[in-house]
Amino acid sequence: MVQKEADFPVARPSSDVAPKWVYYFSAVDAEGGADHKNLLGGKGANLAEMASLGLPVPPGFTITTEVCGIYYASGRQLPDGLVPQVERALEKIGQETGARFGDEENPLLVAVRSGSRASMPGMMDTILNLGLNDRTVLGLARRSGDDRFAYDSYRRFIQMYGDVVLGIDHTAFEDILDNFKNLNGYSFDTELGADEWRAVIALYKAAIEDALGKPFPQDTGEQLWGAIGAVFGSWLNARAVTYRRLHAIPDDWGTAVNVQAMVFGNMGNTSATGVAFTRNPSTGANEIYGEYLINAQGEDVVSGIRTPQALTARARREAEDPNPSLEEEMPESFAELRQIFDVLEKRYRDMQDIEFTIQDGKVWMLQTRSGKRTAEASIKIAVDMADEGILSHDEAVLRVDPSSFTQLLHPTIDPAGEKELLTMGLPASPGAASGRIVFNSDEAEHQKKQGHEVILVRTETSPEDIHGMHASAGILTARGGMTSHAAVVARGMGVPCVSGAGALRINEKAETLSIGPKTLKAGDIITIDGATGRVYVGAVPMRQPQLSGDFARLIGWADDARGLAVRANADTPKDARQARSFGAQGIGLCRTEHMFFDAQRILAMREMICATNEAGRRSALAKILPFQRADFIELFEIMGELPVTIRLLDPPLHEFLPRHDRELEAVAAELKMPIEKLKARVAELSEFNPMLGLRGSRLAIRYPEITEMQARAIFEAAAEAEKRLGASVVPEIMIPLVAYRREFDILAGVIRSLAETVEKETGIHLDYKLGTMIELPRACLKADELARGDDGAEFFSFGTNDLTQTVLGLSRDDASPILSAYSTQGIYEADPFVSIDQEGVGELVATGVARGRAEKPDLKIGICGEHGGDPDSVAFFHKLGFDYVSCSPFRVPIARLAAAQAAIRAKLDSA
Ligand code: ADP
Ligand code: MG
Ligand code: MG
């Protein structure tokens, strides 16, 4: 996509006096600071900040991001007023360093470095040693007394400038150098002396002249302005534009340009250059971490040309590296760096990622910024910094990205372990799992009952596989994307899943899978890694999740701060236990239909649906009742006094209809119905659009005996659980897919009369709450009616999955191809099924809350869609005054942290 250049906002000079476009920084005079990030970019602002802290920063200046806007608004022209400001600043650097830009005796050399607000790959690479030409290089050689150093610097400059500003591919220079080394019998750059570099320089210059038809620029002013223009020009190069689009960075931020006096890590064996983290970015341990190279410059450390050495003696010993660490090689410089790191951590109150250079024993700081880190490190650093008194508990809670928890809540593959890769698919649901291959869901359940861990391998999954997916340690499919049935359900369950492994050939009949020539059969062990999409042969060593220690402490601080309660969506005892162990404060959604998918029960369910009269339905329901009651008793016992919200049956009917011959035969036998008649019945029940068909309250109104059975199961279970627990159990019964008050009243009537019946039968007084799921636009609009009066809904739970589906008119099951087109074209900012559409769907939610609470100020309000585990959505529900969010058990810790962050941010905003 082409950026219209005129879109840039322009700071036009309002008078003849040009605005301040250049900010100077040095230990003597720092005009900017860390609070100037928007104007000076991250690198420039932090250089100024370090300078003002008195740290050793080579003097320099920053040309502001505003100039970038002007550059584009005026057809890639720099404003005239900039020239004198740059010249003055250059002179000032010269005064501080005792050198002069372009001077043949004592030349000042500079680095030209890009830097926008957010660190951003794709921008122009840094140019070092700018200001060298055929004459100044002689001056540099004389002043330094080191010919080799001078010519090494010059060849680096020509190469960088040729590549970055003149547009000659860097491989051209690399080829020249490789050839030269081969011809002359050298293996390492360090073996080349001044004469050799002079020869290489001649070859470089000839190549440039060949390519451009003009010589390498000898005029240092032309060099400088060429480099400045190239930095601004790189803001709109394709790589940078793509990166910004992917990371939602606005194009009109612009980049700044930093021009800074060079310091030299390539001045022999008392010089070096390196990178450091003030703490270990992978574990978070409070230890310096990083690498350096002696007699090197710039990106040598990360380029892989030479192997860098460890910074600390400890790291060197651990890596069994024979080369000395910086701590051992240059103890004084190391000690100084250690002190500087301390100052920076205290100032920025965060772990820093640092670039430094040592010139002839003297330390210079070239960059600092907050360092990227793993989820584990992020937690450890936040907790440690709170313990060290650097952060408050609230601040520590704000430091950790809730989504990163997904990495921690599952076992992970041990990176050091041996493994044989089988194939790759999509990383559909994080976590790693090993188990026996099974090819169908019944087998998965069967094996699981016998105590085996299984991986369910299917071409794709369908709602009928729910019980098999539940029973599996992991799921692998050959087809389907990140939002396929397998992926969505697996994520919801917290079961690791690799989907869309396209190279996989599955033969369900023969019970084999093959990848190319390799074939595995049912019972063979494989391992999947749902975080990377990798599939391995055999069992691979794993690491178990650590939910104790720092993690537990941080979550504890989050619990102190949050207002929203966090419940879990849990359908089975296993889910409920998992939810409790992750700190859920109740069940916000128990989907009773999942209880029907169990192999023994689905037959009775099918009977019930296919029965042609009430008597047939009642006899089928009677078979289901004991199962439901037993499930609820177990659930109530696990949850103790915590609230449990049970939703009445809600699935689209087609999920239960018998399809395969085997299924049809079984149902026909039970119902004593000829198979042809049953097939006709199934055809009669089939719907064109089941999502909008006979489900939820509609199903219950048409077949009230289903609600009777469910209500009975719930109340009998509550009575039994009360006896067992010796404490009161207050089920919250939720009627799904309600749009009209009358629907609610009819079903509430059925439930209330069942409560009375069970009370009479058991002699136990039953406490319960009746509420509704708000998942249709009409329910949001008529929320006042639904809540009105003592016999109105006592609670609302927003079912934001269906609400999103019905407000957008977009089927969740068919959304994935649409989603990808819509996000690349910027129609959806985020997947609306993952992060709630705050403006559209959100407005209806807000309306529902307001209208419901206007009738009933103490109306309890929660949300139980997938959005309950999405941090942005959680913040939104916090703002709307919800009482709780409910999400899948594995997302409970995420929601706890997100709810705390929402509360802390709201507190900060109002302060
Ligand atoms: P990036 O944003 O890609 O990290 P930098 O502008 O930080 O680019 O420059 C990359 C490297 O160039 C630095 O890590 C440092 O080694 C070197 N460098 C940058 N400025 C200077 C300077 N003034 N003197 C010496 N080396 C420098
Ligand atoms: Mg870099
Ligand atoms: Mg850098």
Residue 413 clears pLDDT 50, i.e. is over it? yes
For ligand 1, atom 7, name the residue with the nearest CA.
367
Q: Which ligand is nearest to the CA of 25?
A: 1
Sign of CA dihedral 521, 527, 528, 532: negative
**Measured between alpha carbons, how far is 204 from 163 in angstroms, rounded to an integer?**
11
Q: Which of the pair, 403 or 709, is modelled with greater confidence?
A: 709
Which atom of ligand 1 lies closest to the CA of 125? 3
Q: Which ligand is nearest to the CA of 260?
A: 1
Q: Which ligand is nearest to the CA of 125?
A: 1
Q: Which of 234-243, 303-312, 435-444, 645-654 is most confident? A: 435-444
Distance 353 CA to ligand 3 centre (A): 9
Distance 257 CA to ligand 3 centre (A): 13
Q: Where in the chain is the domain with CATH 3.30.470.20?
A: 272-373
> Which CA distances in Å does 107 have to 11, 99, 453, 472?
35, 6, 71, 70
> Which CA distances in Å does 178 have to 127, 183, 186, 294, 678?
22, 9, 9, 22, 79
Distance 225 CA to ligand 2 centre (A): 22
Which atom of ligand 1 lies closest to the CA of 114? 6
Cβ < 6 A, ligand 1 pocket: 58, 111, 113, 126, 128, 260, 262-263, 273, 298-299, 355, 357, 366-367
Report the run of H or E that residue 333 belongs to, with start and end: helix 331-348
Which pLDDT value is given to residue 37? 94
Residue 470 clears pLDDT 60, i.e. is over it? yes
Find out whether 371 and 352 touch, Cβ atoms under 8 Å. yes
Q: What residues are paired with 22 via a beta bridge?
A: 63
- The total of other beta-carbon atoms located within 10 Å of residue 104's CB is 15
The region of weakest confidence among 147-151, 424-428, 596-600, 757-761 is: 596-600
Q: Report which of 123, 57, 42 is spatially closest to residue 352, judged by C-alpha positions.
A: 42
Q: Mutation test of ligand 1: which of 355, 359, 362, 372 has the most ligand atoms closer than 8 Å to its C-beta?
A: 355
| Domain 141-216, CATH among 3.40.50.1820, 3.40.50.360, 1.10.1530.10, 1.20.80.30 | 1.20.80.30
Which atom of ligand 1 lies closest to the CA of 58? 23
pLDDT digit string, tens, across residues 272-287:
999 999 999 888 999 9
Q: Which ligand is nearest to the CA of 113?
A: 1
Which pLDDT value is given to residue 301? 73
Please, what's the b/e burial string for 296-324 (b: 16 or more CB within 10 A of its CB; e: otherwise)?
bbbbbbeeeeeebbbbbbebbeeeeeeee
Which pLDDT value is given to residue 122? 64
Q: Which ligand is nearest to the CA of 266?
A: 1
**Measured between alpha carbons, how far is 484 from 498 in angstroms, rounded to an integer?**
11
Q: Which of the pair, 620 or 655, is modelled with greater confidence?
A: 620
Which atom of ligand 1 lies closest to the CA of 260? 23
Mean pLDDT across 496-514: 91
Which pLDDT value is given to residue 702? 92
Distance 761 CA to ligand 3 centre (A): 76
Report the run of H or E that residue 687 belongs to, with start and end: none
Q: Mutation test of ligand 1: which of 126, 273, 302 has the most ligand atoms closer than 8 Å to its C-beta?
A: 126
Distance 126 CA to ligand 3 centre (A): 8
Which atom of ligand 1 lies closest to the CA of 301? 16
Distance 111 CA to ligand 3 centre (A): 12
For ligand 1, atom 12, name the residue with the nearest CA.
298
For ligand 1, atom 3, name the residue with the nearest CA.
125
For ligand 1, atom 24, name the residue with the nearest CA.
262
pLDDT digit string, tens, across residues 138-157:
999 999 999 999 999 999 99
pTM confidence score: 0.82
Mean pLDDT across 566-582: 91
Distance 367 CA to ligand 3 centre (A): 6
Mean pLDDT across 868-880: 96
- The SS3 assignment for 366 reads strand
Q: Where in the chain is the domain with CATH 3.50.30.10?
A: 410-543
> Which CA distances in Å does 380 have to 285, 374, 401?
7, 10, 13
Tokens standing for residue 690: 């089941």
Find out whether 516 and 522 touch, Cβ atoms under 8 Å. no
Q: Mutation test of ligand 1: which of 26, 50, 113, 352 has the most ligand atoms closer than 8 Å to its C-beta?
A: 113
Which pLDDT value is given to residue 480? 77
Find out whether 833 and 866 touch, Cβ atoms under 8 Å. yes
Distance 397 CA to ligand 1 centre (A): 33
Which atom of ligand 1 lies closest to the CA of 298? 16
Mean pLDDT across 670-684: 89
Q: Report which of 816, 469, 862, 406 is spatially closest to residue 644, judged by C-alpha positions.
A: 862
For ligand 1, atom 16, name the residue with the nearest CA.
298
Q: Where in the chain is the domain with CATH 1.20.80.30?
A: 141-216
Which atom of ligand 1 lies closest to the CA of 258? 6
Which residues belong to the active site?
485, 864
Domain spanning 562-592+621-649+698-910: CATH 3.20.20.60: yes
Q: Where in the chain is the domain with CATH 3.30.1490.20?
A: 19-133+218-262
For ligand 1, atom 15, name the residue with the nearest CA.
298
- Superfamily name with CATH number, domain 272-373: ATP-grasp fold, B domain (3.30.470.20)
- The SS3 assignment for 781 reads helix
Residue 10 clears pLDDT 60, i.e. is over it? no
Distance 760 CA to ligand 3 centre (A): 76
Residue 560 clears pLDDT 70, i.e. is over it? yes
For ligand 1, atom 6, name the residue with the nearest CA.
113
**Measured between alpha carbons, how far is 342 from 344 in angstroms, rounded to an integer?**
5
Distance 355 CA to ligand 3 centre (A): 6
The region of weakest confidence among 77-91, 648-662, 866-880 is: 648-662
Mean pLDDT across 823-844: 90
DSSP assignment letter at 860? E
Which atom of ligand 1 lies closest to the CA of 367? 7
Distance 508 CA to ligand 1 centre (A): 57
Q: Mutation test of ligand 1: which of 43, 46, 367, 372 has the most ligand atoms closer than 8 Å to its C-beta?
A: 367
For ligand 1, atom 9, name the residue with the nearest CA.
126
**Measured between alpha carbons, how far is 574 from 493 in angstroms, rounded to an integer?**
10
Which pLDDT value is given to residue 410? 78
Find out whether 497 and 478 touch, Cβ atoms under 8 Å. no
Residue 1 clears pLDDT 50, i.e. is over it? no
pLDDT classification of 904: cutoffs 50, 70, 90: very high
Q: Which ligand is nearest to the CA of 275?
A: 1
- The total of other beta-carbon atoms located within 10 Å of residue 518's CB is 11
Q: What is the mean pLDDT of the chain?
A: 91
Q: Report which of 714, 724, 822, 808 is spatially closest to residue 767, judged by C-alpha positions.
A: 714
pLDDT digit string, tens, across residues 31-73:
999 999 999 999 999 999 999 999 999 999 999 999 999 999 9
Contact residues for 636 (Cβ-Cβ < 8 A; gap 6+): 644, 717, 718, 721, 725, 729, 731
Q: Mutation test of ligand 1: which of 46, 128, 260 has the most ligand atoms closer than 8 Å to its C-beta?
A: 128
Q: What residues are paired with 519 via a beta bridge?
A: 514
pLDDT digit string, tens, across residues 246-265:
777 888 899 999 999 999 99
Distance 156 CA to ligand 1 centre (A): 13
Mean pLDDT across 396-407: 89
Distance 340 CA to ligand 2 centre (A): 21
Which pLDDT value is given to residue 158? 97
Which atom of ligand 1 lies closest to the CA of 264? 25
- The SS3 assignment for 529 reads strand
- The SS3 assignment for 866 reads helix
Find out whether 97 and 261 touch, Cβ atoms under 8 Å. yes
Report the run of H or E that residue 797 belongs to, with start and end: strand 795-798
pLDDT digit string, tens, across residues 198-240:
999 999 999 999 999 999 999 999 999 999 999 999 998 888 8
For ligand 1, atom 27, name the residue with the nearest CA.
298
Task: For the chain, give the number of residues.
Answer: 911
Q: Report which of 501, 507, 467, 508 is spatially closest to residue 482, judged by C-alpha positions.
A: 501
Residue 873 clears pLDDT 90, i.e. is over it? yes
The percentage of the chain sitting over the pLDDT mark of 70, rounded to a whole number, equals: 97
The region of weakest confidence among 100-109, 509-518, 598-607, 671-680 is: 598-607
Domain spanning 19-133+218-262: CATH 3.30.390.50: no
Residue 304 clears pLDDT 70, i.e. is over it? no
CATH number of 410-543: 3.50.30.10
**Measured between alpha carbons, how far is 456 from 506 in angstroms, rounded to an integer?**
12
Q: Which of the pair, 136 or 532, is modelled with greater confidence?
A: 136
Residue 258, burial from CB neighbour count under 10 angstroms (0-12, 13-18, 19+): buried
For ligand 1, atom 17, name the residue with the nearest CA.
298
pLDDT classification of 11: cutoffs 50, 70, 90: low
Which atom of ligand 1 lies closest to the CA of 115? 2
